[in-house]
Amino acid sequence: MDKIKIVGGNRLQGSVILSGSKNAALPILVSSLLTAEECTYERVPNLQDIEFILRVLGELGAEIDGELDDGTVKVKCEEIDQVEAPYDLVRKMRASVLVLGPLLARFGEAKVSLPGGCAIGARPINFHLEGLKALGAQIELQEGYVIAKCKRLKGNRVTFPFPSVGATEHLMMAASLAQGETVLENCAREPEIVNLGETLNKMGVKLEGAGEETIRIQGRDSLNGGRFRIMADRIEAGTYLTAGFITQGKVKVEGLEPIHLEAVLKVFEKAGARISRGKESIELEAQGLARGTPITTEPFPGFPTDMQAQFMALMCVAQGESEITETIFENRFMHVSELTRLGADVSTKGNVAVVRGVHTLNGAPLMATDLRASASLIVAGLVAKGETVVSRVYHLDRGYERLEEKLSALGANIERLKETT
């Protein structure tokens, strides 16, 4: 397995062109199952998770054309010859579970493995299943599989117990082919939901309210294909800005609407950075060391859980103390023990971590545990004295496109050590 080696200490400076958003691209690619027509997607990031969802679609019978290298992919789901996503596919990437609703809505049946837990939490899909039931699906759980059937899904009112990103996306897609109107309440409001809403509207659905608490969807009998664009990755943006801040540098990210990252930008400002917001760019200029600043993760528009680990790395070398509260996932502090190996002073109690800033981190061999935890170790490695080697880099490859190339261009001393055996 590849490793990433960083020699810390370089101040980062320059600009990064952002890739397409992983978490927007995943449901949007799945939405191609809703139509027999060809869908062309632009700014698709070249990531393991994206290759994987395309493989899932391919196994169901989709025709896939185009190279991830140039960001444009065509998907045509005209001849879907099976409606089953087996355990081996779903356990590797839980977003595959999103094929359930579109398959059910279009073909009247689907069989999809339950994903199981993952490194950051139990992550059940009960809100997804309850929502599909409200649209008339008959759902049974058998030997680890969800078996869903329906004649035709019927629009209904669904109130989510919590604004789940995945459940909101899943129901938006299923309701697009349901008969009549569906009203989704207490929806997630993340920008990725807006990007999916735009896509579904272009496919012929009448969908209002994506990005708000209530989404109204008038289902259609059939949908059309078309050309769709994936939004820029706001978490990738936040990660590079954090890298700029921790190295006391000046980093600009390009291609993103600053409003998508506003909660993080406000916290950066509180912590002492100067932020310039352009139309589709953000520049961060450090004004010395960061100041200890508390955060609590929340659904959008609050501080994103997907930035918590990277922000913690920044706080490890900040002046003073900061309290970091994780409210979205029950086990998302896996990076703490690895940061501690670099000399960080972090203690956790339940879902709260207290970080006391230290003068210096010292490089060490580290083990990545999940995507954002890995990103936090990279960010910390950029200021740690000497050499930090992060192993299990496949976690990073799931969600960051050409990470070492982009950081090198900003001035980091970073390289990928290829597995030779």
**Mask for 82-121, x = binds ligand EPU (CB under 6 A):** -------------x-------------------------x
Reply yes or no on whether 118 is catalytic: yes
Give yes or no for residue 310 binding ligand EPU (CB under 6 A): no
Which listed range, 6-14, 28-36, 278-286, 304-312, lies at the site for ligand EPU (CB under 6 A)?
304-312
Which listed range, 64-72, 238-246, 302-310, 336-344, lies at the site for ligand EPU (CB under 6 A)?
302-310
Q: Which residues are registered as beta bridge partners of 199?
A: none
Are 303 and 295 a contacting pair, CB within 8 Å? yes
Q: Using CB under 6 A, which of 82, 126, 214, 360 touches ligand EPU?
A: 126
Of these residues, 77, 118, 187, 316, which one is catalytic?
Answer: 118
CA distance 142 to 189: 33
Give yes or no for residue 165 binding ligand EPU (CB under 6 A): yes
Give yes or no for residue 394 binding ligand EPU (CB under 6 A): no
In terms of Cα–Cα distance, which of 97, 65, 98, 102 is closest to 80?
A: 102
**Mask for 7-36, x = binds ligand EPU (CB under 6 A):** ----------------x--x----------
Query: Cβ closer to ligand EPU: 245 or 329?
Result: 329
Are 57 and 64 a contacting pair, CB within 8 Å? yes
Q: Which residue has the tokens 């596919």?
A: 89
Cα angle: 258, vertex 260, 262; to 5 degrees: 65
Q: Do the strands 250-254 and 281-285 form a parallel or antiparallel pair, or are they unpaired?
A: antiparallel
Backbone Cα Rg of the chain: 21
Give yes or no for residue 145 binding ligand EPU (CB under 6 A): no
**Cβ at position 62, least distance to ligand EPU in Å:** 19
Give yes or no for residue 167 binding ligand EPU (CB under 6 A): yes
CA distance 301 to 32: 28
In terms of Cα–Cα distance, which of 171, 176, 147 is closest to 159?
A: 171
Query: Cβ closer to ligand EPU: 187 or 289?
Result: 187
Residues 183-212 that bind ligand EPU (CB under 6 A): 188
Instruction: Show the beta-strand stretches assigned E in 255-392.
Output: 274-277, 281-285, 295-296, 321-325, 345-349, 352-356, 365-367, 387-391
CA distance 369 to 119: 7
Give yes or no for residue 134 binding ligand EPU (CB under 6 A): no
Give yes or no for residue 125 binding ligand EPU (CB under 6 A): yes
Q: Which residues are registered as beta bridge partners of 74?
A: 40, 65
Give yes or no for residue 371 binding ligand EPU (CB under 6 A): yes
Which listed range, 124-132, 210-218, 360-368, 387-395, lies at the site for ligand EPU (CB under 6 A)?
124-132
Interface ranges with ligand EPU (CB under 6 A): 23, 26, 95, 121-128, 162, 164-167, 188, 304-306, 328-329, 371-372, 399
Q: Please give the positions annotated as active site.
A: 118
